[in-house]
Chain A
Amino acid sequence: MKSYKWYVPVFLIIIIIFQPFLSQWFAVGGISINFVLYFTMLFAFTKKPAHSITVAAVVGLTYDMIYSNWLGKMIILLVVGTIFVMIVDKRIYRENIPGLILFFFAAIFLLENINTIMETGFGEYFGSILFIQTRILWMSLYAAALSIIAGIAYFLTSLRGDRKIRMKGA
């Protein structure tokens, strides 16, 4: 329990409460991202898989209870997003900004497509697929641009030793 970081779920719960406002305040040309999904994936890079999955499930359930039409939608998205991170985390260093940009672009693109299908159903999704893909593409670019800040933040927070240990291991 010594290594348990309580502030991660607390921070994510605060982001959940602020999500409707954040998506308004930080919208660029009417485009924004789901900050809960984004931050959960960012934290998954820094935590052990079991811990990340548990946090994703709890945060997802809390989000669903407040915003979703049915319980489970965000649990699926966050857990799948965390699994994506677990797969990539073994292959790239989290300070690798180009790697992060590519990862978040692809991950958000896939996850938002899954999200849209779950929300609108297949009929509506395929009926307006070009419109939907254009919008999701912009959202993915937004997430990719944010990854530059995330990469710098990872680099600064791991300067004190975490990165050195990992680099020695490599």
Chain B
Amino acid sequence: MIKLLKNRKFQIALSIVALLFIVLLSVDRFSKVNIIRNIVTAPVVLVQKGINSASEWVGGIVSGIRGYADVIEENRNLKDENLKLKQQVSTLAELVEENERLRESLGIKNKFSDFEIVGANIVGSNPGNFYYNFRIDAGSLDGVEIDAPVIAGDNVLVGRVYSVDLTSSVIIPLIDEKMGVSVWNTKSEGGQGIVKGDIELKEQGRCLMDTISEDFDLKPGDVIETSGIGSIYPRGILVGRIESIHRDDSLIERYAIIEPLVNFNEIREVFILKNKGD
């Protein structure tokens, strides 16, 4: 037996079998085997958070330099004063923005009193060709759970939690094909439809609404929100605006193109709703 264990070919075969076993188990995102990801994700997320901050800092400097050059061109004599004013305005704008964010989060806390709110920052997006998701800096240690709804500060649906590690989580956006949300019209609260991602619409930052019930009175420009049907999303989270309505002749069914209310390119902070009953 010991001789067999020392055999190099046997060791390789054993490693391959063990790897295959882990791979098969990992297909289920609820599987405990995914805990091994933490060995890598915990330190990597810290590094990526730093890179993300540095990237934003460099971007700020570049735009600052551009602004500075304009000021020199327009008024050389007031250069120093102008810069000081700019810094003050920037600080004030940051304070106003922070104030607004805090007010919004307070509003969310009042609106979803049955839920615990976990705030998180988007650390980066995960690479992919026909899909994309975001990594946030809150994980199971912060109370984040798989399938929890994720919203932005202004009560707008961002997506849901797809997988959770100890210190970080992956969220899939509303426009992803894995999403499916029951919605209704904010005006009438009558009729229902399902909003889901579509591989082609995703490129344009849009998603699809189908399975629209006959009594669903909808027009382009209407805003839709979650209906609360199903176990994941509570009622009343804003989803998007109806861009256009079409009719599928073969299925004699309507479908609509939805423009999400959240801007996925600009979003930096999110809130995860955790059911208090859990």
Interface of A toward B, CB cutoff 8 Å:
16-21, 23-24, 30, 34, 61-62, 65-67, 69-72, 75, 112, 115-116, 119-120, 124, 127-128, 131-132, 135-136, 139
**A47 nearest CB across to chain B (Å):** 18
Name the A residues within 8 Å of B19 (CB-CB): 61, 72, 75
Q: Which of A18, A21, A136 has the largest number of chain B CB atoms within 10 A?
A: A21
Cα distance A61–B131 when bound, in Å? Answer: 20
Residue positions of B touching A, CB distance < 8 A: 19, 22-23, 26-27, 29, 36-37, 39-41, 44, 47-48, 51-52, 55, 124-131, 162-163, 177, 199-200, 203
A119-B131 in contact (CB<8A): yes
Inter-chain CA distance A73–B229, complex, in Å, is: 34
Residues in A neighbouring B126, C-beta threshold 8 A:
20, 67
Say whether, besides A72-B26, A135-B129, A139-B129, A120 and B177 are in contact (CB < 8 Å). yes
B266 CB → nearest A CB, Å: 14
Asked whether, in the complex, the Cβ of B177 is within 8 Å of the Cβ of A124, the reply is yes
User: What would 16 more interface pairs be, CB under 8 Å, given A71-B37, A132-B130?
Assistant: A17-B44, A17-B47, A19-B127, A20-B126, A21-B52, A21-B124, A65-B37, A66-B37, A67-B128, A75-B23, A119-B131, A124-B177, A128-B199, A131-B199, A131-B203, A135-B129
Cross-chain pairs A/B with CB under 8 angstroms, 14 sampled: A17-B44, A19-B127, A21-B51, A21-B52, A61-B19, A65-B36, A70-B26, A71-B22, A71-B23, A119-B128, A119-B130, A120-B131, A131-B200, A135-B130
Tally A-B pairs: CB < 8 A.
Answer: 78
Please report the C-alpha to C-alpha distance between residue A18 and residue B125 in the assembled complex, in whole angstroms: 11
> Assuming A23-B127, A70-B27, is B41 touching A17 (CB within 8 A)?
no
- Assembled-state Cα–Cα distance A61/B40 (Å): 10
Enumerate chain A residues within 8 angstroms of B124, measured Cβ to Cβ. Answer: 20-21
Report which of B29, B48, B131 forms a contact with A17, defined as CB distance below 8 A.
B48
Residues of B within 8 A of A21 (CB): 48, 51-52, 55, 124
A20 shortest CB reach to chain B, Å: 5
Question: Which residues of chain A come closer than 8 Å to B41, judged between CB atoms?
Answer: 65-66
Given A65-B37, A65-B40, A71-B22, verify A120-B130 contact (CB < 8 Å).
Answer: yes
Give chain A nearest CB distance to B21 CB in angstroms. 10
B43 to chain A, nearest CB (A): 9
Q: Which of A20, A34, A71, A115 contacts B26 (CB 8 A)?
A: A71
- Find out whether the CB atom of A20 lies under 8 angstroms from the CB atom of B127: yes
Closest 9 CB pairs of A and B: A72-B23, A71-B26, A65-B40, A65-B37, A70-B27, A20-B124, A128-B199, A67-B126, A70-B26
